[in-house]
């Protein structure tokens, strides 16, 4: 049996002494490590290790239907950027992403401003706008495919006015925009909620002070609301951009990458088609790696640019 002597110029009450001791022991690196370990293991197993495996696979000619795999270094990457089909996919994804960023953010902000007041009707409206967000994107795509097909409800409504209503999903010039519209529609609710939170965190005194100084609604928005909303704008822009680059479900259900060859094919859709349908696992991994780097680079760049206009209270 041993005893520990606490050195102190002034004796502490027993309870406080043991609390200090406990606090001290909690600050040891071992404790931090123990707390971090479960999360770190999960992160390593489910994120880092698959990432390393995917990158390794991208340097091979791994194929689901070929027994032997060999190392091909950067051959898959060289093939990728000389493949016109991939460049078409990249273009489609950029168009979709631009629409998926601009439309929901603009609409979301506008709707949030209109809903930024109290009352049961406004609360109900917030819930209505949020419903598409909680729905599965596959369910949303199935419903919109039924509405947008050539003999769907939308064209049925248009037939009294025209004999040839648009082929929302069958016209190669329209299909990409139809898919983008649905993606944007589903994201609006999330933007509304985030912008509402941003608007409600703006101190009312600042808006009142601006009013007293003679600023009208437009000026108050431009000089007070908009600068203070900058963090919300940054995060929603980056999140919708990442979402835009990952679009798969809606394309798979509504157009299957068509009509025709690759007219609505996106990066994520192409990765899955190449890996699972064609079995070209190595080539697909190279496409996934490029997709990852594009998303990472654009996310970092847009955060850096947009952060500059953020204002601290």
Partner 1 sequence: MRKQRRITRYLAIGMVAAAAIGLTGCTAGGSGTTTPDKEGNATLTFLVSESPNLTPEYWDAAIARASKVVPGVTIKKVVGENTPAYAQQLFASGQAPDIFAAGIANGLAQKGELAEYTRAEMEAAGITDFTSGTINGKFYGIPAGAQAIPLVYYNKDLFAKAGIDGPPATYSELLDDATKLKAAGIAPFEIGGGGEDTWATTFTLNAVVAADMLTADKDWFLKREKGEVKFTDPEFVAAAAKVAAITKAGFGDKDGMTRTYADMEQSFFDGKAAMYPMGSWFTAAADAKKLTNIGAFGWPSDAGKPAFPVVSGAGMNVNAKSKNVELAKKWSLAFATDKENMDAGVITDGAISTVKGYQIPENVGTLYKEMVAAYDAAVAEDATVPAWGNTTGDGALPPGFNDKMVAANVDLMTGKTSPEDFAKYLDEQYAAAQK
The residues that touch partner 1, with contacts defined as CB under 8 A, are 46-47, 50-51, 54, 63-67, 145, 148-152, 167, 169-170, 172, 231, 234-235, 238-239, 242-243, 245-246, 248, 252-262, 268, 271-273, 275-281, 284-285, 288, 291-292, 295-296, 299, 303, 312-313
Q: How far is the CB of 42 from partner 1 (least distance, A)?
A: 10
Q: How far is the CB of 113 from partner 1 (least distance, A)?
A: 21
5 or 70: whose CB is closer to partner 1? 70
d(CA 207, CA 209): 5
Q: How far is the CB of 212 from partner 1 (least distance, A)?
A: 26
99 or 244: whose CB is closer to partner 1? 244
Q: How far is the CB of 232 from partner 1 (least distance, A)?
A: 10
Reading the block at residue 2, the tokens are: 């041993």
Q: How far is the CB of 90 from partner 1 (least distance, A)?
A: 16
CB atoms within 10 A of CB 58: 24
103 or 190: whose CB is closer to partner 1? 190
CB atoms within 10 A of CB 93: 25
74 or 293: whose CB is closer to partner 1? 293
**Terminal-residue alpha carbon distance, the chain:** 58
Q: Which residues pair with 60 in a beta bridge?
A: 71
Whether the Cβ atoms of residue 257 and residue 273 lie closer than 8 Å to each other: yes
Contacts of 230 (CB under 8 A, 6+ apart): 306, 309, 310, 311
Q: How far is the CB of 223 from partner 1 (least distance, A)?
A: 21
Q: Which residues pair with 71 in a beta bridge?
A: 60
123 or 256: whose CB is closer to partner 1? 256
Structural element, H or E, at residue 259 = none
Give the three-class secondary structure for 60. Answer: strand
């Amino acid at each position: 049996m041993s005893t520990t002597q606490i050195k102190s110029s002034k004796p502490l009450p027993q309870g406080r002494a043991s609390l200090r001791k406990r606090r001290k022991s909690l600050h040891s690196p071992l404790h931090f490590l123990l707390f971090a370990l479960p999360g770190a293991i999960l992160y390593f197993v489910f994120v880092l290790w698959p990432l390393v495996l995917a990158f390794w696979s991208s340097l091979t000619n791994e194929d689901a239907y070929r027994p032997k795999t060999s190392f091909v270094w950067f051959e898959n990457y060289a093939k990728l950027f000389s493949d016109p089909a991939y460049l078409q996919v990249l273009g489609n994804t950029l168009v979709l992403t631009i629409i998926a960023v601009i439309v929901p953010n603009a609409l979301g902000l506008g709707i949030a401003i209109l809903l930024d007041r109290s009352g049961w009707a406004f609360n109900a409206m917030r819930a209505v706008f949020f419903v598409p967000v909680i729905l599965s994107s596959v369910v949303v795509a199935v419903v919109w495919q039924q509405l947008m097909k050539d003999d769907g409800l939308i064209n049925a409504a248009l037939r009294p006015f025209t004999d040839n209503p648009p082929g929302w999903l069958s016209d190669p010039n329209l299909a990409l925009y139809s898919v983008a519209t649905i993606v944007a529609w589903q994201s609006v609710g999330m933007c509304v909620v985030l912008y509402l939170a941003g608007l409600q965190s703006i101190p009312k005194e600042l808006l009142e002070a601006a009013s007293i100084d003679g600023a009208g609604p437009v000026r108050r928005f431009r000089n007070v609301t908009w600068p203070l909303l900058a963090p919300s704008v940054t995060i929603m822009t980056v999140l919708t951009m990442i979402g835009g680059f990952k679009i798969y479900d809606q394309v798979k259900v509504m157009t299957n990458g068509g009509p025709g060859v690759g007219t609505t094919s996106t990066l994520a859709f192409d990765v899955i088609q190449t890996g699972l349908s064609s079995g070209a696992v190595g080539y697909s991994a190279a496409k996934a790696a490029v997709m990852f780097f594009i998303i990472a680079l654009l996310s970092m760049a847009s955060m850096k640019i947009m952060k500059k206009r953020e204002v601290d209270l």
